[in-house]
């Protein structure tokens, strides 16, 4: 046999620039001792700027319309986030300016959608995360739900079938609550159980599929469940995939008890790239000091390295 060419089903050239969507204002809020801290982004940016391995094109969040948010959230909830005078819960403080930060996180997801539809590879590196925010409630470090908003935007602008793949170690309860029963939307969450927020023990409705995993499940087993969920997602033949990319199933993450390594996040990136449809990635959780390496591994996979 001669040299082997790219696999025929690889949708993109072997390597192509990766669009990284960020806005440095996202490090401008914090609460002492809170794990969802600015260094998650600032240290990742340092790492990405210092490396030469992956070619990065930097992009800014898109503008966000109220109409796009209101597909996912109640008007009263949006007003509460805009005013943000008292904490939403013990985990989810009323930071000054949090509405603007949450808007930029949504804008990052929307820009990722736009770039993905042009055939690009992209990742939205912003905070706050979003997947715990329900239609009417901020919780678990999340205020507005970018994954759900991007999914509904994709469906409102031409896609017939859009699937969310949420590999954050916590159940994406907010995304599930918003997308439950929405025609054309599919939700797959792979997460530790028991763990915060305690939901996601079984499938819900016709379009939300949960893969709870016991704490300290061996890595090989965890990978098998990730694969099973990915195969189920593929079978739905989505035209767009929205990835809630949380890196807290990592073996040394302080907020959960799972077992994944950087190599597994690299494999996830490669797997999404190989699907041959636009893939949107938004950052959710991930709280270890190794987060920059984990994100970098994922990006290398997405980029085809
Ligand atoms: Zn998480």
Name the pLDDT band for 11 (thresholds 50, 70, 90): low
Parallel/antiparallel/unpaired status of strands 185-192 and 208-213? parallel
What percent of the chain is predicted at pLDDT more than 90? 93
> Does the annotation mark 19 as catalytic?
no
10 domain-assigned: no
Each residue's pLDDT tens digit, 284-304: 999 999 999 999 999 999 998
Has residue 26 got a pLDDT over 60? yes
Mean pLDDT, residues 51-55 taken together: 93
Nearest-Å Rg of the Cα atoms of the chain is 18
At residue 108, does pLDDT exceed 70? yes
Residue 139 belongs to a domain: yes
Predicted local distance difference test score (pLDDT) of residue 15: 56
164: β partners = 187, 242
Number of domains the chain is built from: 1
How far does residue 21's CA lie from ligand 1's centre (Å)? 20
Report pLDDT digits (tens) over 191-201: 999 999 999 99
State how far the Cα of 67 lies from the Cα of 300, in Å rounded to an integer.
34
Place of tokens 């260094």: 39
Q: Report d(CA 166, CA 177) in Å as an integer.
A: 14
Q: What is the pLDDT of residues 216-275, one digit of tens each?
A: 999 999 999 999 999 999 999 999 999 999 999 999 999 999 999 999 999 999 999 999
CATH code, 58? 3.40.800.20
Dihedral angle, C-alpha 75, 78, 83, 88, nearest 10 ° = 120
Report yes or no on 42 lying in a domain: yes
CA atoms within 13 A on the CB side of 70: 6
Q: Kindly give the distance from the C-alpha atom of residue 81 to the centroid of ligand 1, in angstroms, as a whole number.
A: 21
Does 200 fall in a domain?
A: yes
In a domain, 11, yes or no: no
- Å from CA of 50 to ligand 1 middle: 27
Q: For residues 116 and 283, what is the distance between their CA atoms, to the nearest angstrom? A: 16
Is residue 205 in some structural domain?
yes
Q: What is the DSSP letter of 250?
A: B
Question: Which residue among the candidates 101, 132, 191, 266 is catalytic per the annotation?
Answer: 132
- The contacts of residue 37 (CB under 8 Å, 6+ apart) are 30
- How many other C-beta atoms lie within 10 A of the C-beta of residue 87? 13
Is 2 a member of any domain? no
Kindly state whether residue 6 falls inside one of the protein's structural domains. no
Q: Residue 281 is part of which domain span?
A: 18-303
């Amino acid at each position: 046999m001669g040299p082997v060419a790219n696999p025929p089903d690889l949708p993109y050239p072997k390597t192509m620039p990766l669009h990284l969507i960020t806005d440095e204002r996202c490090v401008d809020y914090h609460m002492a001792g809170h794990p969802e801290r600015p260094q998650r982004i600032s240290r990742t940016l340092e790492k990405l700027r210092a490396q030469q391995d992956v070619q990065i094109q930097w992009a800014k969040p898109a503008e966000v319309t109220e109409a796009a948010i209101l597909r996912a959230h109640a008007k009263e909830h949006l007003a509460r986030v805009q005013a943000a005078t008292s904490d939403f819960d013990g985990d989810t403080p009323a930071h000054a300016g949090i509405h603007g930060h949450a808007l930029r996180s949504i804008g990052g997801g929307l820009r990722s959608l736009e770039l993905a539809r042009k055939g690009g590879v992209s990742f939205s590196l912003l905070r706050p995360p979003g997947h715990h925010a329900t239609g009417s409630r901020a919780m678990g470090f999340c205020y507005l739900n970018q994954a759900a908003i991007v999914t509904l935007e994709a469906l409102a602008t031409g896609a017939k079938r859009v699937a969310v793949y949420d590999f954050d170690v916590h159940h994406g309860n907010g995304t599930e609550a918003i997308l439950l029963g929405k025609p054309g939307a599919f939700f797959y969450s792979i997460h530790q159980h028991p763990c915060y927020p305690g939901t996601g023990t079984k499938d819900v409705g016709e379009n939300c599929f949960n893969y709870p995993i016991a704490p300290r499940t061996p890595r090989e087993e965890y990978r098998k469940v990730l694969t099973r969920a990915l195969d189920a997602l593929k079978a739905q033949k989505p035209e767009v995939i929205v990835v809630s990319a949380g890196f807290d199933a990592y073996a040394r993450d302080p907020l959960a008890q799972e077992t994944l390594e950087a190599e597994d996040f690299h494999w996830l990136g490669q797997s999404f790239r190989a699907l041959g449809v636009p893939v949107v990635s938004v950052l959710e959780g991930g709280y270890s000091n190794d987060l920059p390496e984990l994100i970098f591994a994922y990006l290398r996979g997405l980029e085809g390295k």
